[in-house]
Amino acid sequence: MFMPEYWQNRARFPHDELVKYRGQWVAFSADGRRIVAGAESLSALEDRLEQAGEDAQQLMFEAVPGPDDDVFLGAEELH
């Protein structure tokens, strides 16, 4: 995986798209440009990816803070 590309793209990921997954676990593509899937728990996300035939080894996992959390994942979330 090419990590600098992931972090650059992840930092620019649209806030409007990320907010749809508040309080969930998401799997980002290896380049950080898209969310492949999201679910309420990590195990549910892994199940969803397996059912879709996605290779979890090629994805990046993140927990997206919920509406009551006081945590930001990147610059775009500050808007």
DSSP string, 30-48: TTSS-EEEEESSHHHHHHH
Give me the residue spans of the domains in the chain: 3-65
Residue 68: its pLDDT value, please?
A: 81
Residue 79: its pLDDT value, please?
A: 40
Q: 4-24: per-residue pLDDT in tens?
A: 999 999 999 999 999 999 999
Is pLDDT of 78 > 90? no
Q: Are 6 and 49 in contact (CB under 8 A)?
A: no
DSSP state letter for 23: T
Half-sphere exposure of 58 (CA within 13 A, CB side): 8
pLDDT range class, residue 71, cuts 50, 70, 90? low
Residue 26: closest CA among 69, 68, 78, 73: 73
**Whole-model pTM above 0.85?**
no
